[in-house]
Amino acid sequence: MSATSTYRLMLKRHGYQLRAWRRGRDLTPVTNRTQAIRPQDVLAFTTLRNERVRLPYFLDYYRAQGIGHFLMVDNASDDGSRDYLAEQPDVSLWTTPASYRGARFGVDWLNRLQHRYGHGHWTLVVDADEFFVYPYCDTRPIQALTGWLETCGMRSFSAMLIDMYPRGPVDAEPYSEGQNPFEIASWFDNGNYFISRNPEFHNLWIQGGPRARVFFPDKPGAAPSLNKIPLVKWRRDYVYLQSTHMLLPRALNVTYDDQGGEMTSGALLHAKFLSTLARKAAGDVQRKAYSGQGRENRANDTQLRNRPVLWTRWSEKYINWRQLEILGLMSKGNWA
């Protein structure tokens, strides 16, 4: 790597930090309980809009996993999400009416909060519809994973996004509050992901799955990215570039072995394709909030009106992390 490219990446990183700082000023604290954060806590960072019905299960899921504190940004919800979160003892909440897109889909806001509160902690950045799964997650809390990563000298952990979908039309079975979304959306694609390596930031770029198959059969290049690095031992000079797809400094993106071995990795089960989606996608298109990733959302919206069925007879029904491991979607690596 030449000195100029190192320098260029450093400038880029500073640029993103400055941006996070500017966008961070749009955030108004609702309840700030960050005093309660203990030095060893694993912290979760989330941006959301109108996710009230999902929140109870979301919080319980991650509490059970061992998350110590939730730092959340509410982007002008009008469904009671804010009041609900403000009451939770382990949630610190900020709110903003500013544009989601303007904050690069919330990345700037969270970069700012991570800079401020995440330094020295393991931080997990997830959306309200993303559920983190890692090897042994059914028997070991998240501290076991972070502790192990630390002894191995690893600072970041990869967990690819796996789109989950129901058997019938996406909106056929209504989702009710507190319910495990994967009781409904329990199916996934297990072997149609394609990967390439990003030469600039050294991360892997993963696409595929049901969205590429159903919504982008003619232009797969536009299909959404599924690579994610949501768990990082944060330092205040780190920044996420695009959602949690990649970070700077770019050494954090090398969560894979290029010599044939397998590093440990997890998955983010994506409970997007539920009855809650139709309403949400329509709202998003109206607000044009997503138009950067608008292709995807417009496609979703059009398709959703046709009540798509993502299920095929080759779909796999989700059982547990071991199944994902055997299928080759994630790996235990050398963690035994």
CB contact set of 284 (below 8 Å; sequence gap of 6+): 290, 297
By CB under 8 A, the residues from 149 to 188 that bind other proteins are 151-152, 158-160
Nearer to other proteins, 78 or 258 (CB): 258
Q: Does position 120 bind other proteins by CB under 8 A?
A: no
Per DSSP, 250 falls in state G
Binding of other proteins by 192 (CB under 8 A): yes
Residues 235-294 that bind other proteins (CB under 8 A): 255-265
Round to whole Å and give the CA distance between 6 and 17. Answer: 17
Using the structure block, give the residue that is written with the tokens 């897109």.
101
Q: From the list 197, 288, 307, 322, which residue makes contact with other proteins (rule: CB under 8 A)? A: 197
The answer to whether 212 and 220 are in contact (CB under 8 A) is yes
Nearer to other proteins, 143 or 242 (CB): 143
As measured in angstroms, the least distance from the Cβ of 210 to other proteins is 7
Nearer to other proteins, 191 or 283 (CB): 191
Nearer to other proteins, 61 or 256 (CB): 256
Residue with Cβ nearer other proteins (213 or 298): 213
Site membership for other proteins, residue 61 (CB under 8 A): no
Q: Please give the residues from 203 up to 222 whose contact with other proteins meets the rule CB under 8 A.
A: 204, 206-210, 212-213, 216-221
**DSSP classification of residue 129:** T
Contacting other proteins (CB under 8 A), which of 196, 199, 286, 306?
A: 196
Task: Give DSSP secondary structure letters for 33-72.
Answer: -GGG--TT--EEEEEESS-TTTHHHHHHHHHHHT--EEEE
Q: Does 41 bind other proteins (CB under 8 A)?
A: no
Query: CB of 192: closest distance to other proteins in angstroms?
Result: 4
Q: In Å, what is the CA distance from 333 to each residue of 144, 257, 263?
A: 15, 10, 5
With CA atoms as reference, report the closest residue to 311 among 203, 173, 148, 151: 173
Contact 24, 96 (CB under 8 A): no
Site for other proteins in 131-150 (CB under 8 A): 136, 139-141, 143-144, 147-148
| Dist. CA 317–CA 314, nearest whole Å | 10
With contacts defined by CB under 8 A, name the span among 23-31, 114-122, 171-179, 323-331 that binds other proteins: 323-331
Buried b or exposed e, range 197-234, using 16+ CB within 10 angstroms:
eeeebbbbebbbbbbbbbbbeeeeeebbbbbbbbbbbb
Complex with other proteins: residue 102 or 220, whichever CB lies closer? 220
Summarize as ranges the residues that interact with other proteins (CB under 8 A): 136, 139-141, 143-144, 147-148, 151-152, 158-160, 189-197, 204, 206-210, 212-213, 216-221, 227, 255-265, 312-315, 328-336
